[in-house]
Amino acid sequence: MSNNASAILLDDVKKLPGLPGVYRFFDEAGQILYVGKAKDLKKRVNSYFQRNLSSPRIERMVSKIHTLQTTVTRTETEALLLENNLIKELSPPFNILFRDDKSYPYVMISGHDYPRLAYYRGRVEKRHQYYGPFPNAWAVRNSIQILQKVFQIRTCEDTVFKNRTRPCLLNQIYRCSGPCVGLISEKDYADDVNKAIRFLEGDHASVMADLEKAMLIHSERMEFEQAAAMRDRIADLSNILQQQSMDTVADGEGDVDILAIAMKGGLACVNLAMVRGGRHLGDKAYFPKMGRFKEDVMPDADEVMQAFIAQHYLSDDAESLRLIPKVMVIQDFKDTPENEELQMLLNEKASVGKAKKVQILRQPQGQRKHWLMMAQGNAEIALTKRLSESGGQEARTRSLIETLGLDIENAEDLRIECFDISHTSGEATQASCVVYQKHDMQTAEYRRFNINDIIPGDDYAAMRQVLHRRYANFQELPPEKQPHIVLVDGGRGQVEMAKQVFDELGMDLSLIVGIAKGEGRKVGLETLIFADQREPLVLGLESPALLLTAQIRDEAHRFAITGMRAKRQKARNVSRLEEIEGIGAKRRQKLLVRFGGLRGVIGATVEELQQVEGISKALAEQIYKQLH
């Protein structure tokens, strides 16, 4: 930075207000470097330009700062929310960014007279109750199996429940008490549901005591069959708790999140273990996007943990609010002003949703200490696995660069865009484009293209259309978004079509690489075909470069197939409604909007269908009959 630019920057810092807000640093080219929040903008930003900086990483960043921008907010909380949003939107290279993956599954107990037990993921409704979140689908389904076995709560869809005339198989194997055919009263069923809820909340001892009391009452009344049923439930519950083992079941623990961190080889891993209702449900590893920093410029563990807590629990969305537990056990959570501020914000957000405070434990004892040790071990294992995988992937990237003779200094910069066409006998043709960069698939940059106005089944015309649409404005793309390789799934015909498109757009033909399948479509027999007169290249199964191109090709194929199937199913679903006499475009649209798609229409009762404008009782009965 020139002396003049440095003077202007320092002058801008002096003019900053002593108010809460967000600041953004930019380099000389105008590229974002860092986004931060501050309780006092003037003090915080000025601290970056003092002699003694906190780390080599910060020194490196400050040396690149050319300009800054600030946004004043009313409160620290607003500053935090704005900071999170900007980090996710701009992906600054000196920030620590965790993938926004908070679509956790829950156990749902519906708000019906005879509540239903279900796996749920998505937006919540006030009329139902939700328990969780759970780290994965397996944990939810395992919990549902336990609740079915011990408390015999129904899991059937409402349409099935309302139309049963005799007990189903689940009742016969003692997994449902048969409320659909009146085998249990509403009061007794509600009592079972209440016990299930208390179990989910961790009140195991009380639930066991209630079951034992009910068994004794039935026994005293000489209702031996009912007493035996209670005895079996008690045995099932005891077995389940013993199977979980004393290491993982802690009566009365409630909801606890355990956070551990491991850092090595320029990477970091935050491991989140979830305890719900006293049951350890497993854990999930998170890897922040923060570049492959050298060891001397890595952020410290406290900084990574702060970023995770802020982005995971304090984002401006409803899911974050539901994620906050009563207790958090956090590895090496230091007693610093930044961490005190985080705890204050967690309490502030938690009080909005559940009127509670979050207890943060730095040095847990007993069961919680054991959980933290488990989480630390799992963080190390997950990080070692990721380092091994990323090392192998980096070797594949470098091999491909060398094999194709590309002039790329930093292997992370290699950008590959791969295209594939998918359809079923010409129906629902879609093209996919997947992107590989930074030694990984960049799923956020994947694109699907609906292909229209071509002869059904003409893959060449489809490839021509998608390449035109993708690269029509190629010259306007920033350098980091321009591919070094355009990988085409196909042989000489597909490569020739790509060559024609690139000629028309004035693009470099050396970008085009076709990957032709070998005999039997086996990996290792593929041939790389070029559009710039280079000889075809057969690499062989042992080539890391071929394994990378095959991996990207297969991902493009998978992405195209899933898109094509969804498009085809949507078209066929709509056609099912079109086949019903009396259902025109307007009524069809109203039905789909009212019930959120064909699946919702199929699940609706005759009475619910009648509530849609323009649907009479006779028409509702006709719709129900034709869809079932």
pLDDT tens digits, 142-177: 888 888 888 889 988 888 888 888 888 888 888 898
Domain with CATH 3.40.1440.10 in the chain: 3-90
Q: Per-residue pLDDT for 277 more than 90?
A: no
What's the pLDDT at 511?
92
> Is it true that domain 3-90 has CATH number 3.40.1440.10?
yes
Q: CA-based diameter of the chain, in Å?
A: 96
DSSP letter for 29, please.
T
Identify the residue with better confidence: 416 or 368: 416
* Architecture of the domain delimited by 579-627: Orthogonal Bundle (1.10)
pLDDT at 353: 56
Q: Tell me 537's DSSP state.
A: B
259 within 8 A of 272, measured Cβ to Cβ: yes
Given this model, what pLDDT does residue 320 score?
A: 72
pLDDT class for 565, splitting at 50, 70, 90? Answer: low
pLDDT interval class at 464 (50, 70, 90): very high
pLDDT exceeds 50 at position 247: no
Highest mean pLDDT among 98-112, 178-192, 452-466, 608-622: 178-192
CATH H-level superfamily of 415-568: UvrC, RNAse H endonuclease domain (3.30.420.340)
Q: On the CB side of 64, how many CA atoms lie within 13 Å of its CA?
A: 19
The lowest-confidence range among 229-233, 438-442, 596-600 is 596-600
Nearest to 508 by CA among 477, 531, 488, 489: 531
Identify the band that residue 470 occupies on the pLDDT scale cut at 50, 70 and 90. Answer: very high
Of the two residues 69 and 293, the one the predictor is more confident about is: 69
Q: Which amino acid, residue 567? A: K
pLDDT digits (tens, 9 = 90+) for 19-63: 989 999 998 888 899 999 888 898 888 888 876 766 777 888 888
445: left (phi over 0), alpha (psi -120 to 50) or beta: alpha
User: In terms of pLDDT, which residue wins out, 498 or 210?
Assistant: 498
The strand pair at 21-26 and 416-424 is best described as unpaired
pLDDT above 90: residue 485: yes
pLDDT above 50 (res 246): no
Provide the 10 A C-beta neighbour count for residue 150: 24
- pLDDT value at position 245? 41
Q: How far, in whole angstroms, is CA 194 from its chain's centroid?
A: 31
Report the first-to-last Cα separation within the chain, whole angstroms: 72
Q: Which residues contact 625 (CB under 8 A, 6 or more apart)?
A: none
Instruction: Report which listed range, 119-128, 135-144, 383-392, 525-534, is most confident.
Output: 525-534
Residue 425: per-residue pLDDT: 57
pLDDT of residue 9 exceeding 60: yes
More confident residue, 346 or 517: 346
Cβ atoms of 435 and 468 within 8 Å: the answer is no
For the domain made up of 256-386, give the CATH fold: Nucleotidyltransferase; domain 5 (3.30.420)
Its pTM surpasses 0.85: no
Q: pLDDT (tens digit, 9 = 90+) per residue, 73-103? A: 888 878 888 888 888 888 888 888 887 666 6
Say what the pLDDT of residue 437 is: 92
The average pLDDT across 303-326 equals 82
Average pLDDT, the chain: 82
| Report for 4-18, 304-318, 546-560: range of highest mean pLDDT | 546-560
What confidence score (pLDDT) does residue 49 get? 83
What's the pLDDT at 292?
45
pLDDT at 578 over 70: no
Inter-helix orientation angle 224-244/204-220, to 10° = 160
Residue type, 336: T
> In the block, which residue shows the tokens 């944990």?
139
Around Cβ 609, how many Cβ atoms within 10 Å?
22
Per the model's pLDDT, the better-predicted residue between 563 and 230 turns out to be 230
